[in-house]
């Protein structure tokens, strides 16, 4: 046990990182993923979807005020939030699956922090040049040129940040209307506040915080250690092949020529040759960079590569690694896939089993029953009638046939009530039992209340009880 | 160029070891330290701007003059202002037309429900089912009438509330001072008979005459009662003070004198209206 005297500073300053441009298959894949994810994010609110005159025509809409979530042909009511919970479970299990198979593939390719940082670095490179130019600019005095480049870069970042914050609010209101409102100053304060906050976070996280978010703020890297095992494909430096590193082509040196290409392209500013580490998001750019160098030095590719720990040990021992599919299709990932698929099937079945009309019943329990002047026993029930259709429907309310019981609706002469399109309606109903009927004299009897839309023949029922005289 | 100094790559340990696990002494990033300082500055600013430091009788008010009471007051005023139009509509609408206007009916019912729970539930019960001496407001039997107008008048002027000249008023004589105990027993048998209960036929025959002489003026020849003077219907199964032989004998000999406050002394005409609509829609309104 020894107390280190080396690190007594209160803080560690952020080391500036200037990732170099790199090209290769992983980089190309990342460009495509970036284009796809950004397009999904920015364009989704603008997709239209006709749902008739009574409902919004935005394909994806989280309508907080109306308490509805619209997703293309699917409409979720608040009491159906389990669908969202199911999707979140699927998202969680999906992350388990991908992490156990491919390590931090989410972090490296699809995480918004990674995608937007990538976009911001792209802008930075366009404005200020590649790594060496940026390092020079960073060291240069604040003259007119540096100000011009910096301000240009920040301005472009700001435009992206505003568009990012702006796109977010379009998911919560009709996008074309909200855009006009935002521009003319008529939108709600919360809309401007959301745009402002998300603009600020995008600008700061993508432009300045970058790897700090992943290393210090994000809980995900900590969780992932538990999901990765020795069969996980992850970005690995083949130390047995590369070491001892050296610039000379001597017999004693390994394949690594210590050119620092892998370090220079790393957006996290780490050295993959130190082994797996918390800061590595497995974006695979070092693989592209190293493969390029290996090609030029006439060595086989893959000094840095996707590799499992078990394969690394096999290679060190001189035996052949197993094919990648054997690492991906193993019991653990198949169990994750099975759970993921099961939840998905349950959700889909539940989605198609949803009734177009629904009724819930709450018996009024204070008092349990009312005695009318002629001795009739009356029970009262609060019905909630849900019309999930895009048009108004007449709900006819009845009891399972029992001549001794009679039903009546509060405030209505008839036994039907119109429920507006996509609405819930509360309706109090009364059920009467003749003075000496079994229902009136038994403490409790079962009751089923039916609702029926006589036009479409949609039916629903709710079970409850009828309380008779307590003797 | 090296990104990480040797120092940050090997931060050393704090010296804490447990079960072979050592605690690394990684330094905080600088921005994090700044964030920490910023929260301190924010905290100081907050205590200056908002009520914060406790004193003997209160707290420092803060330069913004914020108070949660004032905020609630402003909220209540805003709600009242927003409701002004519908309040006006409710007060001026003809009573009979309220139920034809779903918005008005809903508004009156919601407001009436809150008022009922505040002012009425103590006697009539939270579910309005009443109790001995306190009428059930859910059934179809009304002492003073069950139309919206009747309910509104009862609410506004009360029952036997002597401070209000328009109050519902009637008083049943104490027949213990008028009739003999035997006669009271006989008339009780008659009331049991007309309300469909078991009775003594001989006594009932005599009681019929006693009833005609003493009771029919208010309760009617057939015992159907008279809502104009709050005389209960004696032929149904609903009894305010009990309907068995003993309870009836007591009520005839020494009648009860139930009172209800005139709520116009305490509530506004709007509130009375809301209450009337609420009570009317509980299931017994006529």
* Candidate from A14, A374, A410 with C-beta closest to B30: A14
Average pLDDT over residues B99-118: 95
pLDDT tens digits, residue range A403-428? 679 999 998 889 999 999 999 999 99
pLDDT at residue A7, as a whole number:
45
Contact indicator for A217, A204 with CB cutoff of 8 Å = no
Complex confidence, ipTM: 0.84
pLDDT at residue A5, as a whole number:
42
Residues 6+ apart with CB under 8 A from A257: A245, A246, A247, A293, A297
Count of the separate structural domains present in chain A: 3
Contact indicator for A420, A414 with CB cutoff of 8 Å = no
pLDDT tens digits, residue range A381-395? 999 999 999 899 999
| DSSP H or E segment with residue B23 | strand B21-24
Beta bridge partners of B59: B54
Q: Which residues in chain A are contacts of B7 at CB distance < 8 A? A: 6-7
pLDDT at residue A2, as a whole number:
39
Q: Which residues in chain A are contacts of B238 at CB distance < 8 A? A: 371-373
For an interface test with B, the pick among A205, A217, A371 (most B C-beta atoms closer than 10 Å) comes out as A371
For chain A, state the CA radius of gyration: 32
- Report d(CA A175, CA A182) in Å as an integer: 10
Question: Which residue has 């364009």 as its token pair?
Answer: A43
pLDDT at residue B22, as a whole number:
86
User: Looking at the structure, do residues A460 and A390 belong to the same domain, yes or no?
Assistant: yes
- Report d(CA A244, CA A237) in Å as an integer: 13
Q: Among all residues of chain A, which has the CA nearest to that of B136?
A: A370
Output the six-digit token pair for B149. Answer: 């107008």
Asked if A263 and B3 come within 8 Å (Cβ–Cβ), the reply is yes
Assign a CATH topology to domain B83-157+263-280.
Cytochrome Bc1 Complex; Chain D, domain 2 (1.10.760)
pLDDT at residue A11, as a whole number:
77
Average pLDDT over residues A142-152: 95
Average pLDDT over residues A9-28: 88
Look at residues A348, A361, A405, A430 and name the one whose alpha carbon lies nearest to residue A87: A348
Residue B231 has pLDDT above 80, yes or no: yes
Residue A338, in any domain of the structure: no
Contact indicator for A429, A417 with CB cutoff of 8 Å = no
User: Looking at the structure, do residues A68 and A167 belong to the same domain, yes or no?
Assistant: yes
The residue among A318 and A151 whose pLDDT is bigger is: A151
Q: Which of A300, A333, A366 is the last residue of a domain?
A: A333
Beta bridge partners of A379: A431
pLDDT at residue A404, as a whole number:
78
Mean pLDDT of chain A: 91
Query: Span B175-253: which CATH code?
Result: 1.10.760.10
End-to-end, the C-alpha distance of chain A in Å comes to: 80
Residue B30 has pLDDT above 50, yes or no: yes
* Candidate from A4, A271, A370 with C-beta closest to B129: A370
- Report d(CA A36, CA A30) in Å as an integer: 10
pLDDT at residue A250, as a whole number:
64
For an interface test with A, the pick among B5, B6, B10, B12 (most A C-beta atoms closer than 10 Å) comes out as B12
Q: What percent of chain B lies above the pLDDT cut of 90?
A: 83
* Candidate from B10, B15, B237 with C-beta closest to A1: B15
Average pLDDT over residues B214-235: 94
Residue A163, in any domain of the structure: yes
Residue A167 domain boundaries: 25-87+102-221
Q: Which of A186, A221, A256 is the last residue of a domain?
A: A221
pLDDT tens digits, residue range A326-371? 999 999 999 999 999 999 999 999 998 888 899 999 999 989 999 9
Residue B1 has pLDDT above 50, yes or no: no
Q: Among all residues of chain B, which has the CA nearest to that of A364?
A: B127
Strand order in the sheet with A68-71: A60-63, A68-71, A74-76
Which of A147-161, B12-26, B73-87 comes out lowest in average pLDDT? B12-26
User: Looking at the structure, do residues A268 and A411 belong to the same domain, yes or no?
Assistant: no
Q: Which of A299, A333, A367 is the last residue of a domain?
A: A333
Average pLDDT over residues B189-202: 93
Average pLDDT over residues B155-184: 95
pLDDT at residue A17, as a whole number:
92
Residue B58 has pLDDT above 90, yes or no: no
pLDDT at residue A1, as a whole number:
35
pLDDT band of residue A107 (cuts 50, 70, 90) is very high
């Amino acid at each position: 046990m020894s107390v280190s005297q080396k690190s007594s500073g209160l803080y560690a300053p952020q080391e500036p990182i200037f990732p170099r441009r790199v090209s290769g298959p992983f980089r190309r894949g990342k460009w495509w993923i970036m284009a796809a994810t950004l397009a999904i994010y920015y364009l989704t609110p603008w997709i239209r979807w006709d749902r008739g005159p009574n409902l919004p025509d935005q394909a994806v809409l989280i309508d907080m005020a109306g308490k509805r979530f619209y997703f293309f042909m699917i409409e979720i009511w608040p009491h159906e939030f389990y669908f969202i919970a199911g999707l979140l479970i699927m998202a969680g299990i999906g992350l388990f699956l991908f992490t156990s198979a491919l390590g931090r593939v989410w972090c490296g390719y699809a995480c918004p922090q990674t995608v937007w940082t990538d976009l911001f670095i792209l802008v930075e490179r366009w404005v200020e040049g590649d790594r060496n130019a940026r390092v020079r600019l960073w060291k240069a005095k604040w003259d007119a040129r540096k100000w011009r480049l910096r301000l240009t870069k920040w301005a472009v970042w700001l435009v992206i940040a505003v568009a990012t914050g702006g796109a977010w609010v379009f998911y919560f209101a009709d996008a074309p209307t909200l855009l006009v409102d935002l521009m003319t100053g008529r939108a709600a304060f919360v809309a401007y506040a959301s745009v402002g906050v998300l603009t600020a976070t995008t600008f700061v996280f993508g432009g300045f915080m970058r790897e700090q978010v992943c290393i210090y703020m994000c809980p995900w890297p900590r969780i992932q250690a538990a999901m990765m095992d020795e069969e996980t494909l992850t970005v690995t430096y083949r130390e047995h092949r590369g070491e001892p590193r050296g610039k000379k082509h001597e017999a004693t040196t390994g394949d690594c020529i210590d050119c620092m290409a892998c370090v220079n392209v790393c957006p996290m500013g780490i050295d993959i040759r130190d082994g797996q580490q918390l800061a590595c998001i497995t974006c695979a750019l070092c693989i592209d960079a190293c493969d390029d160098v290996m090609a030029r030095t006439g060595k086989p590719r893959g000094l840095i590569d996707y590799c499992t720990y078990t394969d690394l040990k096999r290679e060190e021992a001189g035996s052949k690694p197993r094919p990648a599919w054997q690492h991906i299709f193993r019991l653990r990932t198949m169990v994750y896939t099975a759970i993921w698929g099961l939840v998905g099937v349950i959700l889909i079945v539940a989605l198609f089993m949803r009734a177009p009309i629904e009724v819930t019943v709450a018996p009024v329990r204070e008092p349990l029953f009312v005695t009318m002047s002629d001795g009739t026993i009356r029970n009262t029930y609060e019905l909630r009638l849900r019309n999930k259709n895009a048009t108004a429907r007449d709900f006819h309310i009845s009891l399972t046939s029992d001549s001794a019981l009679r039903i009546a609706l509060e405030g209505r002469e008839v036994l039907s009530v119109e429920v507006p399109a996509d609405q819930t309606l509360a309706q109090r109903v009364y059920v009467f039992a003749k003075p000496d009927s079994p229902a009136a004299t038994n403490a409790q009897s079962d009751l089923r209340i039916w609702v029926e839309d006589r036009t479409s023949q949609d039916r629903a029922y709710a079970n409850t009880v009828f309380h008779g005289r307590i003797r | 160029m090296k990104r990480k100094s040797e120092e940050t790559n090997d931060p050393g340990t704090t010296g804490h070891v447990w079960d072979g696990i050592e605690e690394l002494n990684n330094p905080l990033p600088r921005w994090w330290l700044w964030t920490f300082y910023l929260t301190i500055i924010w905290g100081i600013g907050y205590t200056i701007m908002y009520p914060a430091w406790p004193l003997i009788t209160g707290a420092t008010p803060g330069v913004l003059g914020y108070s949660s009471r004032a905020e609630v007051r402003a909220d209540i005023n805003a709600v009242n202002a927003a409701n002004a139009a519908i309040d006006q509509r409710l007060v001026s609408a003809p009573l009979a037309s309220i139920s034809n206007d779903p918005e008005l009916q809903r508004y009156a019912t919601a407001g009436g429900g809150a008022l009922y729970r505040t002012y009425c539930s103590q006697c009539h019960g939270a579910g309005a089912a009443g109790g001995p001496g306190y009428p059930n407001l859910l059934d179809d039997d009304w002492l003073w009438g069950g139309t919206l107008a009747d309910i509104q008048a009862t609410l506004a002027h009360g029952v036997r509330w002597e401070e209000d000249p328009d109050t519902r008023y009637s008083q049943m004589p104490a027949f213990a001072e008028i009739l003999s105990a035997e006669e009271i027993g006989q008339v009780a048998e008659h009331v049991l008979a007309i309300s469909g209960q078991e009775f003594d036929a001989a006594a009932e025959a005599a009681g019929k005459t006693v009833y005609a002489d003493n009771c029919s003026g208010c309760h009617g020849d057939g015992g159907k009662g008279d809502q104009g003077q709050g005389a209960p219907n004696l032929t149904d199964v609903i009894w305010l003070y009990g309907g068995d032989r003993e309870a009836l004998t007591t009520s005839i000999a020494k009648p009860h004198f139930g009172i209800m406050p005139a709520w116009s002394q305490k509530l506004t005409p709007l509130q009375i209206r809301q209450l009337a609509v609420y009570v009317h829609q509980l299931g017994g309104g006529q």
